[in-house]
Structure 1
Amino acid sequence: MRFFSIPSQALVAFLALGSVSARVLTKRDSPVLPGLWADPNIAIVNNTYYLFVTTDGFEGWGGNSFYWWKSPDLVSWTKGEKPFLVLDGKNGNVPWATGNAWAPGFAARGGKYYFYHSGNNPSVSDGHKSIGVAVASHPEGPWKAQSTPMIKGTSDEPIVSNQAIDPAAFQDPKTGKWYIYWGNGVPVVAELNDDMVSLKSGTWKRITGLQDFREGLFVNYRKGTYHLTYSIDDTGSVNYRVGYATADNPLGPWTYRGVILKKDESKGILGTGHNSVINIPGTDEWYIAYHRFHIPDGGGFRRETTIDVLPIKKDTGLFGEVTPTLESAHIINISPGSNIVMVLCSVCETIPWDNLPPTPTDEILIVSSDNAYLQEFWEWPRDCKGYSHYQSLEALNSSAEDLGCGLCRLIYKQVEFCRLKLEELQLGREEDSEFRHAWPLWEFWITKRPDGDGFWILSYTDNNREGLVRLLAAIGINDPLSSVIAGRPVEHDGESPNAISRAIGWIDECNRHSACCHHDTLLPSRVIDVGDNRSSPYVRLWETGGIETGDYIALSYCWGKSPQYTTTKSTLNDRKRQIPISDLPQTHQDAIKLTREFGIGYLWIDSMCICQDDYDDWERESARMLSVYANAYLTINASKGNDSSSGLFYKSSTREYFEFEHTYGGIRGRALACEVPFEEAMQHAYIQLKDDPVSHRGWTLQERVLSRRTLFYSGGQMMFECNHGFRKEDGWAIDGRFPRISSQPQMVSNDQTKDTDLSVSTSELLRSWYQLLATYGGRKLTKPSDKLPAVSGLASIMAERLNDEYVAGHWRSLLITELPWQPGDCKRVPEYRAPSWSWASVDGGIGIRLKGSGYSPLAEVLDVKVNLKGTNPYGEVTEGRLLIQGPMQRLCLSTEGWDPDRPRLSSQGSLVLCTTSTYLETRPQYDFDAFADDRPRLERKFVQSLDGLELYALILLACSHGEDHYIALMIVREQGSGEYRRVGILTLTDETLGWKPGEQRKGERPIITLI
């Protein structure tokens, strides 16, 4: 700022020098503000940069007004239409001050903004300046100044500086306390009271450790260190410059680090000082705003404001020396994915983050439409409303817009989206329609987010149903500093050091879980040796002989249609000598990089570690999938990639974060708030990653289930799954894992001891197996013949646990229950890969009922013969025959009135049972196995294929609960043989049949062969 002991002769001398030196300049793109402005205080409020500056060009620094300028990008600036504070006694709006509007400071807290400034105070007899405060509800005003100064600058105060000038406010992110720094010649700091307009008694402290301090204190915090910058020499001197010191707390003592900004006469840049510093949200980029002599005719009273890069030293993390430029800052838009320092309204500021009411566990979720934003709950208890937020839409909007509360803005954005979607659904419906969607009362209540840090915003509805609640918004809370909150800002680049460090942290934490303990195991037959040199451009294929132990990483990915880098009989020896990494698909290259980063020596990739044109090798190694994935140190899942060329590392779409102060778990700090898509906030099924390409591929299901732990590189962020649970970067987490064989993680482990407890019920195992098959059915395979091999690892575990024989995808002892598997949108494949009675003969979702679920068998399997293509009992089959005895009924098809294009329920159609020559009026419910995407066309084709064939019902099960009925296979007799094949299933009744199958003696039941 300015000091009053400089002789006028010296002032004339440096003014002249400044003018002469500046005249060498011919072209420049700075300053950032046109004209004469000084003492810039830079700040960011809700996506906007602000500069609060003093007017210049007045002898004796006699300007009496303050202006704000704002910018979206640090380059294009707009000035407020008029000064927001004028220090002119009764003619101005600061009652105690007349002139000398000097160096301001700025702070935001609790929905309010505070502007600290110096000014001439006529009531102070010795002529010293005073410091006052103005308050506003928006950074652009209107501002209301306090009637008296906060710091008078008189001798009766605890510490007297030469001048009470240059106030700068700072909040300690560790404690949440606010401080004000000021002074001229004598630097002073004191703690602000909660009202932000007065100082806490007994907290005044003289700052020590600075060298050549003159004025202009400013404090920042970065990674555990407090950084203090200040001005040296007089503002009228060409040598005006910025000094720098650091400390481990906001009060010091401070360690002097030298000068970081000074003149550059070769560019005509002189008098560089009185700075403020900002960090660009979401980055580690820092900028310094300061004034200098106006170019080319400036001096101590004629200064201009500019901005330059403030470098960070990589080795120490300290501020580096600034290079003053004539170009100034380049365009820096605040990314929507950045964390913006956010002002909270008084309602949001009092939210009890660590004591929010929980979400009731017995609520019933109702999905009111296909839109994930329209969720409602029944049975919500009235005594669990939640924490009260704003009780009207108008109040919420006012806080978001008028008070500038960033958190309310996030909430309102989601609430408005929900409201618009509801209006779309309501359009054209009568108010009293029974289909009318429950309309929110717009009274907002907060409950803790069930599966992550953050909260839900809910509202009761206007219908008469008790306890009907609609979810209106979901907000996630992340914390980049504290260990109290699990979530962290999502990395934009999955390859960044921060992302890799986070993944390593998850693995380290997993290593401490008893359910995830890992021991050295035998390496697979072949692995990729990534070497000890992380920068080596080569790897090699290593054959272990089946006797070496160690850690390795397995890769799970989609092969896709792109050409694969494979190992064949002819390339095997070359692969063992050397593999140039640059020849590999991007996914493989990225997996090698990660394996090296994690400090693991070996990597397993199926296309490279299995000889792809050697069937014996392929069958032997694919049968070992269980041990490959179950024993891997880690599985890396290229979840987002359509093929091996896609790569692992994502470039995520940026997520909008707002930074705010909070107290959580007794720790005061800053946290980041962000919107959470409702499909993430609501559905545990989110962990199925159903939209990721890898979740559509057949082999990857068992790779995920068998893996001890998996690191997913999804399209938006990293995710981690282990036997302890599932988590994402943003803090979303649940216990357990999906899909899985059992709730007991050791069920998929190959390193069990004799003491391992495997006391899991058969029904639990079967339920998990059937769920896995339902998930697997619709997945795609590059080679259709892999239908059984792609789950052979899972099947081998189940066979051991169930102590049962595996026959073409089924369990020998459960065949009667499993044979009537329910087809979904299925279709049969043209090539043979399984008998017709096996679910493996179709592509598409299937369902299998549990044994004993109210059904009793009426048929009996007398013999089973399955021919394997190789030696793997869970692999490919070439033939499968069942000798089965059970009640049968001849069926007939009638196409009278048949229209496959007409939508129908399963009980409607043209399949009619014939017992004699007369059709019965009662028709059975049925499903063919052959229908998928194009049902009408396929149904026509299928019905045509049955022409001339004998159609039968093979009755397998009788239902004894509810209405009695029978479950049967729909089968056709192969022409020229006595064998039958399955074509569908159907449900029959005594009325439909005209007789009771259960009363038929066993000797009267036919014996047939199903193929």
Structure 2
Amino acid sequence: MTHFISPSFAGQSLIDLDNPLARSPERLCSYCKKIPWANLPGEDEPAFPHQPSLTALKRSIERCMLCEFIAEAVAEVRTSIRVKHGGGSRGGTIIFDPTGQLADGRSVMRHIQFGDIPGDTVSRSDPPSHPKSDRPEYRFANDDEVRPWLFGNWWKSSDSVGSLQLTGLGVRLSRTPLMEDAEGNGKEIHYSHTGDTRVDLHFHGTFLRILADDDSPLAKVIPGRLRATDFSSDLSMRRLEDRLRLCNRTHGATCAPWRLLNAELPTRVLDVGVDSKVSSIRLVEPGNMRSPYMTVSHRWENKANLIKTTTLTIQEYRHGINLNSLPKVFTDAVTICRRLQIRYLWIDTLCIIQDNDSPHECFPDFETRADEMYLPPGEISVGLPSIAAAVPMLDTRGNPSGHRWISRKRFVAFRMQGDRHESDDHSGDEGRAPSWLYIHVGWTPSSTRKDPKPFFIGGFGRRFDPLDNEQLNTRGWTLQERLLSSRTIHYATDQMYWECEKSFLSEDGSSFDPAIFSLNSLTERQCLPASEHGFRQFGHTSFMEGFSHQMEKPDGRWRGGWLEHVQRYTERELTKSNDKLPAMSGLAAIISARTGDEYFAGVWRDHVIEDLHWRVYCRDEFRTGFEAITSEGTSFAGARDGLSFLYGEKLWDVAMPPKSRGPSWTWASIDGRIRFVPLDFTRIRASFISCNIENSSLNRFGTIEKGWMKLDGPLLEIHQSSKTTWDKKDPLGLGVLTEIKVDSDVSLGEAFFDIRPEFPCFGFFLDSSNCLILKETGNRDHEYTRIGIGKFLRTPTQRQKNSLQSFTTGANPLDEAETGVFEKVPWGPITELYPRTTVTIV
């Protein structure tokens, strides 16, 4: 069980010496001892010489483990060269960029592999493909003719503007230190249409990761760290204190230290004191007192016999609570408070009179963590699961065996003294703790000293939340608790995480996009104009009806905004079904106060058309396109060879709650996983008129009794389609096949019903293609309930009048003028001149 502590401000690799794979630490050869770690050149610079030849490197493997790792990196680079020159791929993308330039002006062609594409574009990496048979195999030099040259992978620090951080050790083979002379590089490319000549240079990144001890002389340069085995250790607490000090010093008002120092305390809090030796705490009622405090967010269990505050125990707890009587999750929280010199602690089960408690702990026990397969975040982001658990852990448990590390795979460690590094000779150093560097296998995309990129996951590879799979994140209430906390300490299964508005860091030195869970980012995106919503058309061209499945990557309020958080929320569990809206009410109140927007039971007035367009997801769904390559080398997925449609594993059961939670148009009215579907905001057809909500309490953001919404827009009757076969070039095939009649012609479409198909029904169109599916209530004219959403394509007549294929006949399919014309063609059949109807949805 994993928990995190929310400050209210806001508050195995044991080296198993019997395992021959765990040969560490090892002595280093003379060449490895000379590596200038703090001054390694970048990948685009003249590199640092290592062994005199590849032959010598291979011979050194037997006596130097770092040489062994460098030799493995050489093999990976040669594989990349072989696959690239054979016309294949390693699961990533080969980008030919004739206009690309290095910082010194050299023009290059960049080789991006293993899915090194910024943003949410890659979820996994396939193994290397075989080179195409019609290309000659690349011929490498003899081992005696080339030597290994070393370089570093340099990135901008996520904390300090301008400072550089070393994350990886790279190698290339050449006769000279120059990148142009390295294997796989140096070929001149001529462009007849411009007369330019470019040099073929390929960036392979680095295949070895570098980590340092916290007290290493290189710790300011190398951000990577070993995870500690014990979260309550002095090392872990020092790391936590360092993060808090840095946040206070550098993040200013963004993380609100002035407010934290003057926060009004809750009705009841626990006074834990500041003395770690005191064995009791007290329940106090501070009145209007202001002071920093911390809160505990944990997953409840129905254990009625465990300690809790009730009307019978409250007086006793005012006098004192013995720490030995508390679950470990609470004593762990007390330990953290006292270490950070924060006197007051809020825990729901002790500060609110109730009936339940939790028997778990903040600090997951070592046995549980050691059983988990650890995947370093950087490797997850670029899709390299094959090196699972390659990173050692630092044993901080005071192990009597004297073992310093725990590791399931090989790594190399060597001790640092000033600017020198030594092997495992400990003589003369009994009185001081050694400082170590560690090398393990791990690929990182290229970033250079002259042109460094910001080092955070999501800036390279795919963006993801490392806490997604933690048990605590299955609980509905904890989503808003995390968002409303200014600073949060997460004690996860794999390691400790620090999260505030400006940084999101893991214990091992990985940095994540703080906008993943950021209240400031959420409210900023809530204020984006309509032009930033829905599909982002610029930069995309699709030569198929409807829209390409590759364009289903909206930004706006999806990326860290309200829509993304609601989607996450609907995957979580609630003990009480009626808490669906109350468990988001605190967040909604803050957003309303900051933006001035009006809240309608999960839907926002300024974004009402977008917020209404959601659908349930019971299973994973895949639209698979077959690529067609044009003469210009541009790929258009699905445009010519068609699409196939597949269902994956079951995700959720969808059902109506036992008691109504509000009108049918809100996502809160249904139990199950939902997803918002992006609209074409250049062709919105509906408009909002009014809305009325009747709350069941004084809290207008909480539980509601009933409500209605009036909208104005095109309304058409939907029928189930009689067709049994569909054009594979149309993006239809996952929903119920349907049709509507438009101007004496038929528009084909698909419907996604919330519970079950119901005909006859009506489509209320939000844009030219997408509609809400409505059913008449029979109570009043034009009064409906929502039963799903639908999507419809242009009619045959509309397609003939404006054929998309006409835009592919030019010499360049991506010509700006033609693309501009293409983007004027609606995705759906409903024009702006279509008659409108006022509807009431209840």
**TM-score, normalised with respect to structure 2:** 0.59
Match of 2:834 in 1: 1000
Q: 2:792 matched to 1:988?
A: yes
Q: 1:473-488 residue pairs with structure 2 within 5 A? A: 473-482=207-216, 484-486=218-220, 487-488=224-225
Partners of 2:748 and 2:795 within 8 A in 1: no
State the distance in 2 between where 1:999 and 1:567 align: 64
Task: Please tell me the residue identity of whatever aligns with 2:719.
Answer: C
- Residues 618-643 of structure 1 deviation map (CA, whole Å, 9 limit, x = unaligned): xxxxxxxxxxxxxxxxxxxxxxxx97
Structure 1: unaligned runs, 5 residues or longer: 1-280, 284-331, 360-382, 615-641, 749-757, 931-941, 958-964
* CA-CA distance at 1:396 after TM superposition: 5.5
* CA-CA distance at 1:891 after TM superposition: 0.7
* CA-CA distance at 1:910 after TM superposition: 4.5
Q: 2:32 matched to 1:348?
A: yes
State the distance in 1 between where 2:519 and 2:604 align: 16
Equivalent residue for 1:604, pick from 335, 346, 352: 346
Partners of 2:657 and 2:669 within 8 A in 1: no
State the distance in 2 between where 1:532 and 1:677 align: 42
Task: Please tell me the residue identity of whatever aligns with 1:1007.
Answer: T
Q: 1:245-644 residue pairs with structure 2 within 5 A? A: 333=17, 340-358=24-42, 383=44, 397-399=58-60, 401-406=61-66, 408-409=68-69, 412=72, 431-432=131-132, 446-448=151-153, 450=155, 453-457=166-170, 469-470=203-204, 473-482=207-216, 484-486=218-220, 487-513=224-250, 514=252, 515-516=254-255, 517-518=257-258, 519-531=261-273, 534-545=276-287, 547-559=288-300, 566-568=308-310, 572-612=314-354, 644=359
Match of 2:704 in 1: 877
* CA-CA distance at 1:523 after TM superposition: 0.6
Match of 1:241 in 2: none
Q: Which moved more, 1:603-612 or 1:558-567?
A: 558-567
State the distance in 1 between where 2:751 and 2:154 align: 44
State the distance in 1 between where 2:502 and 2:48 align: 31
Equivalent residue for 1:776, pick from 569, 591, 611: 569
- Could you say if the C-alpha distance between residues 437 and 354 of structure 1 is closer, same or farther in structure 2, counting changes exceeding 3 Å? farther
Match of 2:481 in 1: 703
- Residues 210-269 of structure 1 deviation map (CA, whole Å, 9 limit, x = unaligned): xxxxxxxxxxxxxxxxxxxxxxxxxxxxxxxxxxxxxxxxxxxxxxxxxxxxxxxxxxxx
Q: 2:664 matched to 1:846?
A: no
Partners of 1:438 and 1:461 within 8 A in 2: no
- Could you say if the C-alpha distance between residues 820 and 343 of structure 1 is closer, same or farther in structure 2, counting changes exceeding 3 Å? same
Q: 1:642-661 residue pairs with structure 2 within 5 A? A: 644-651=359-366, 652-653=369-370, 654-655=392-393, 656=407, 658-660=412-414
State the distance in 1 between where 2:527 and 2:138 align: 47
Partners of 2:293 and 2:345 within 8 A in 1: yes
Q: Report percent identity of matched pairs.
A: 25
- Residues 718-754 of structure 1 deviation map (CA, whole Å, 9 limit, x = unaligned): 2222334233333334675532133599x89xxxxxx
Higher relative contact order (CA 8 A, sep 6+): 2
Partner of 1:512, secondary structure, is helix
Q: 2:761 matched to 1:968?
A: no
Partners of 1:410 and 1:675 within 8 A in 2: no
* CA-CA distance at 1:555 after TM superposition: 1.4
Q: 1:215-226 residue pairs with structure 2 within 5 A? A: none
* CA-CA distance at 1:528 after TM superposition: 1.8
Q: Which moved more, 1:549-558 or 1:435-444?
A: 435-444
Partners of 1:526 and 1:604 within 8 A in 2: yes
Task: Please tell me the residue identity of whatever aligns with 1:542.
Answer: V
Match of 1:247 in 2: none
Partners of 2:283 and 2:318 within 8 A in 1: yes
* CA-CA distance at 1:807 after TM superposition: 0.7
Task: Please tell me the residue identity of whatever aligns with 1:404.
Answer: C
Q: 1:72-151 residue pairs with structure 2 within 5 A? A: none
Task: Please tell me the residue identity of whatever aligns with 1:671.
Answer: W
- Residues 584-608 of structure 1 deviation map (CA, whole Å, 9 limit, x = unaligned): 3321221122222322221112233
* CA-CA distance at 1:882 after TM superposition: 0.9
Equivalent residue for 2:614, pick from 821, 826, 832: 821
Task: Please tell me the residue identity of whatever aligns with 2:657.
Answer: P
Task: Please tell me the residue identity of whatever aligns with 2:606.
Answer: S
Q: 2:414 matched to 1:714?
A: no
- Residues 423-448 of structure 1 deviation map (CA, whole Å, 9 limit, x = unaligned): 9x999976428999999999886432
Q: 1:931-970 residue pairs with structure 2 within 5 A? A: 942-943=756-757, 946=758, 949-957=759-767, 965-970=768-773
Equivalent residue for 2:689, pick from 852, 862, 878: 862
State the distance in 2 between where 1:435 and 1:828 align: 56
Task: Please tell me the residue identity of whatever aligns with 2:66.
Answer: G
State the distance in 2 between where 1:508 and 1:472 align: 32
* CA-CA distance at 1:501 after TM superposition: 2.6
Partner of 2:227, secondary structure, is coil
Partners of 2:463 and 2:513 within 8 A in 1: no
Task: Please tell me the residue identity of whatever aligns with 1:403.
Answer: R
Partners of 1:569 and 1:613 within 8 A in 2: no
State the distance in 1 between where 2:527 and 2:685 align: 31
- Could you say if the C-alpha distance between residues 856 and 765 of structure 1 is closer, same or farther in structure 2, counting changes exceeding 3 Å? closer
Match of 1:923 in 2: 748
Q: Which moved more, 1:491-500 or 1:457-466?
A: 457-466
Which protein has the bigger strand share? 1
Task: Please tell me the residue identity of whatever aligns with 1:593.
Answer: T
- Could you say if the C-alpha distance between residues 674 and 868 of structure 1 is closer, same or farther in structure 2, counting changes exceeding 3 Å? farther
State the distance in 1 between where 2:19 and 2:325 align: 36
State the distance in 1 between where 2:167 and 2:42 align: 11
* CA-CA distance at 1:955 after TM superposition: 0.9
State the distance in 2 between where 1:985 and 1:744 align: 26
Task: Please tell me the residue identity of whatever aligns with 1:343.
Answer: R
Partners of 1:688 and 1:739 within 8 A in 2: no
State the distance in 2 between where 1:806 and 1:713 align: 34
* CA-CA distance at 1:406 after TM superposition: 3.2
* CA-CA distance at 1:645 after TM superposition: 1.5
Q: Which moved more, 1:575-584 or 1:560-569?
A: 560-569
Equivalent residue for 1:788, pick from 564, 581, 587: 581
State the distance in 2 between where 1:532 and 1:428 align: 57
The number of aligned residues is: 590
Partner of 1:771, secondary structure, is helix
State the distance in 2 between where 1:354 and 1:954 align: 63
Task: Please tell me the residue identity of whatever aligns with 1:354.
Answer: A
Partners of 1:392 and 1:444 within 8 A in 2: no
**TM-score, normalised with respect to structure 1:** 0.50
Q: 2:713 matched to 1:886?
A: yes
State the distance in 2 between where 1:732 and 1:689 align: 13
- Residues 677-710 of structure 1 deviation map (CA, whole Å, 9 limit, x = unaligned): 6699765735542232233433223222222222
State the distance in 2 between where 1:392 and 1:782 align: 66
Q: Calculate the aligned-residue CA RMSD, in Å.
A: 5.1
Match of 1:366 in 2: none
Task: Please tell me the residue identity of whatever aligns with 1:491.
Answer: A
* CA-CA distance at 1:650 after TM superposition: 4.5
* CA-CA distance at 1:808 after TM superposition: 1.0
Q: 2:653 matched to 1:911?
A: no
- Could you say if the C-alpha distance between residues 454 and 392 of structure 1 is closer, same or farther in structure 2, counting changes exceeding 3 Å? farther
